[in-house]
Amino acid sequence: RGLGEKQVKALWDWGLVHGPGDIFRLEERDRQSLTPLRNRDGWGAQSARKLFEAIEQRRKVPLARLLFALGMRHVGERNASLIARHFGSVETLAEACLTTDERRAEAMAELLTVDGLGPIVVEAFDQFLAEPHNADTLRDLVGLLDVQPPEARAADSPVAGKTVVFTGTLERMTRDEAKARAESLGAKVSGSVSKKTDIVVAGPGAGSKLAKATEFGVQVMTEDEWLSLIGG
């Protein structure tokens, strides 16, 4: 069963959820509740079990996705990926950003040197962490989740050093996710097709870029072929 806005509101009203981390404590709290979820209107034993299973499956999360999910201004999927890659692990990020104000200031100065991250993004990240409630929320999630480090850049990956263009609709990932994954494997992602383009990944609705790729003799592949090439 999904956990949409209506369900979250109900869990809040019942006192089972007070913050993001409580989602991952839900099963434990439900066991201690005088009225477990399975006995509440609109749920039942099967729905409750499926919800707990779905939550458990989400416990393992990439660092970049955790940062993006916090909803910080100016920190979309690509910027979250750049920040995650800079720190390398959730432990390093926590030490740098969640200990003292002085250490966080040093970390923000270092972030300003990251190619692709400008002062607006870094300031938004800093302001988010400066708010005690936000910092506490992140600490809580770090302790509850199995946060995965970014993929190491692979100099020997099949797309390292290649210029890639995505066009059309991507059905298994967002455009930002596709770009971040390609760049993590050493590829350069471009917004236009030229004779120097190596690969065009074309989804439904691909138009002029696909035509130009054909004209230039550039390799064209589907989203599934691309994912197979880079290992899923």
- Assigned token pair, 120: 């607006």
d(CA 143, CA 51): 21
40 three-state secondary structure: coil
Tens of pLDDT, residue by residue over 4-57, are: 788 888 889 888 899 999 999 999 989 988 889 999 988 889 999 999 999 998
In this chain, the answer to whether the domains covering 61-148 and 163-230 adopt an identical fold is no
| Short-list 61, 139, 128, CA closest to 98 | 139
Tens of pLDDT, residue by residue over 157-213, are: 889 889 999 999 999 888 888 888 888 788 889 989 999 999 999 999 999 999 999
Tens of pLDDT, residue by residue over 139-155, are: 999 999 999 988 765 55
Q: Where are the domains of the chain?
A: 5-58, 61-148, 163-230
With a pLDDT cut of 70, the percent of the chain lying above it is: 96
Record: fold of 163-230: Rossmann fold (3.40.50)
Whether pLDDT at 107 is above 80: yes
Whether pLDDT at 105 is above 90: yes
> Which of 172 and 136 is assigned the larger pLDDT?
136
Alpha-carbon 183 to chain mean position: 15
pLDDT value of residue 1: 47
Q: Specify which residues 199 forms β-bridges with.
A: 164, 219
pLDDT-derived band of residue 232, with 50, 70 and 90 as boundaries? low
The CATH class that applies to domain 61-148 reads mainly alpha
Q: Which residue has the tokens 């300003």?
A: 112
